[in-house]
Structure 1
Amino acid sequence: MNKKRRILSLPAIAALLLAGACKSEQTFDASGAFEAEETVISSQAQGVILRLNVEEGDVLDSGAEVGCVDTTDLSLTRQQLLARIEALTARKPETAVQLAALQEQLTTAEHERDRLAHLVAGDAATPKQLDDATAQVAVLQRQIAAQRSTLRTSTDGLDKEARALAVQVEQTDDRLRRCHIVNPVRGTVLTKYARANEVTAPGQPLYRIADLSHMTLRVYISGRQLPEVRIGKRVSVYTDAGGKGGDMHHAEGTVTWISDRAEFTPKTIQTRDERADLVYAVKVRVPNPDGRYKMGMYGEITFD
């Protein structure tokens, strides 16, 4: 009797084992590799790198100054420009001083004209004397006007030269600012291309950086799966948890981009429908606060 019960229990045990195996077997909707948006930081100045405080693996904040290119030549150029502007300013004529003598003569001539006008009214002077005095006033007025015009022209010319030099000063200041190497984006330094005491030039790469706090899992789906996916959709992301048990680490991600055109299935990627020759690329943004996900790491998703 006991033997019979044992025999009858074997199918049940097999069924349980089969159910457990099926339950542990996970079916994924798409797979792909993790990637991050990389930025190559290049030099914006010509000269010797005096300082570059960047090492691979460093986490840099946006706006942090990480180095400097030698500014000696530019600083000297700026000093020369400022000295030339100062010299031009010193050459500008002082209109009041230049016209003071003529203005004094005009005042005297006007007083003489007015005096003669009173004398002519009292028949104590001749009209010719008054005409001569009036003519003298007119001559002095014309001389002052001509002198003022000459001084204005000279001043305008010097002002134009000074403004042109001021623009050069601003350009030099901009070049000086570019000598300071400022990190533009927050992220982790992946590769360092240059070091202190090396000569650099505009456009020459200094280091490569990427924001690894969020990673992008690029997966591929078939045309049949396309209606299931939309931008903003939450999906489950699975990666190898490590160890010998074959466990999977689970996280959630958000669909941020769906390709609008099909492409041939990449050889390194598997899809749920292996018969699909054409697939659509999908980007899933996944938080990476602990640095678990690495660039090139394999991952899979389910649409839940």
Structure 2
Amino acid sequence: MSGPIERSRAAKRRNALPLRATLACFVGLAALGACSRHEAPVWQGYVEGEYVYLASSQSGTLAKLGVQRGQTVAASAPVFALEAVDETAARDEARHRLAAAQAQLDDLQTGKRPPEVRVTEAQLAQSEATARKAALQLARDEAQWRAGGISQAQLDDSRAQAASSAAQVRELQNQVRVANLPGRVAQIAAQAADVEAAQATLTQAQWKLDQKRVAAPAAGLVYDTLYRVGEWVQAGSPVVQMLPPQNVKLRFFVPETVVGSLAPGRKILVHCDGCAAEVPATITWVSNAAEYTPPVIYSNEQRAKLVFMVEAHPVMQDAAKLHPGQPVEVRLQ
């Protein structure tokens, strides 16, 4: 009797083993599911670059290209230069015209040169001596006329000579005073206006010349060069495409149930393929509009499809690790 009973008990034990294993698996999966529900959600996104296109406001042949694609340059580093023969000549001409206008203004403000004034003063001294001689001769002739020694006509000649000499002295005295005076107010004002116009022309010519040489507005990566040396570049046509590190940003998409909890200033962590460690970033913009809108009404199934764009910027030193178009995974820090 013991044989059949023992065989029955052994069969029950064998049947119970798969059931226990199955229950253990279900318990393990349930525990794993419970753990996964507590993990931070991960959202998909990509890296975006806001490029800076460097161009000149002037046309010309590309004379020098100082950077190469993939090169990192510092702020204010020379990037490219266009030929500037005409602009250099215009600058030099404007500079000389300004110097001439300024010299004329200085001449008007100082009056005649000292040697010219001394010539007039010498003529005045000679005229004064002649006037004194004429005055003495007139005095003698008047005495002779009273004594009856000369005629009335001779006395009149002496008087005319004395008056002429005195008038010449007064003329030269006025010339000396005028020679020491600056130009008239209206002349000086007109010449000062010419100086300002010449200065404005020089400033304009210098600006056009400076536009032929373009430097990097900020440190960054030379993403691409669009012209080769010797090619003609139209005014406003970009020659170099740059990507400063502050212009690297992240775009990722979150569901409608999460967007309300995100705001600028929130910290996130970014994972990308090839990155040795997660890159920290800060949310800078959250979209107010959904990327997908149902055609008629919001049903529960359609609301699950709503996603909102969020933008974030990494710290400057980590921006070089990210490349435009690179897919990333984002989670809250």
TM-score (norm 1): 0.70
SS in 2 for 1:206: strand
Q: State the partner residue of 2:87.
A: 74
Per-residue CA deviations over 1:183-227 (Å, capped at 9, x if unaligned) read: 112222223211110111321111211124773222344565344
Q: Give the 5 Å matches for 1:105-184.
A: 105-106=123-124, 136-144=168-176, 160-184=193-217
Deviation at 1:238, TM superposition (A): 3.7
Per-residue CA deviations over 1:28-49 (Å, capped at 9, x if unaligned) read: 3644332122111112332211
Q: State the partner residue of 1:95.
A: 112
Q: 1:256 aligns with which of 284, 308, 322?
A: 284
What are structure 2's unaligned runs of at least 5 residues?
Answer: 1-9, 143-158, 295-300
Q: State the partner residue of 2:264.
A: 231
- The 8 Å contact of residues 224 and 241 in structure 2, kept in 1 or not, is answered as yes
1:301 aligns with 2:330: yes
- The 8 Å contact of residues 66 and 79 in structure 2, kept in 1 or not, is answered as yes
SS in 2 for 1:68: strand
TM-score (norm 2): 0.65
1:16 aligns with 2:28: yes
Q: 1:41 aligns with which of 54, 73, 88?
A: 54
1:32 aligns with 2:45: yes
SS in 1 for 2:318: coil
Aligned CA RMSD, in angstroms, stands at: 4.4
SS in 1 for 2:236: coil
After superposition, the Cα gap between the structure-2 partners of 1:300 and 1:58, relative to the gap in structure 1 and judged at 3 Å, is same
Report how many aligned residue pairs link the two structures: 287
Q: Give the 5 Å matches for 1:191-230.
A: 191-212=224-245, 215-221=248-254, 224-230=257-263
Deviation at 1:62, TM superposition (A): 1.4
Identity of matched residues, %: 21
Normalized per residue, which structure has more helix?
2
Deviation at 1:228, TM superposition (A): 1.7
Q: Distance in 1 between matches of 2:274 and 2:173?
A: 97
**185-194 or 85-94, which moves further after superposition?**
85-94
Per-residue CA deviations over 1:129-169 (Å, capped at 9, x if unaligned) read: 99877655543344455666795577776665455334333
Deviation at 1:278, TM superposition (A): 6.2
After superposition, the Cα gap between the structure-2 partners of 1:41 and 1:5, relative to the gap in structure 1 and judged at 3 Å, is same
Q: Distance in 1 between matches of 2:129 and 2:308?
A: 98
The structure number with the bigger radius of gyration is: 2
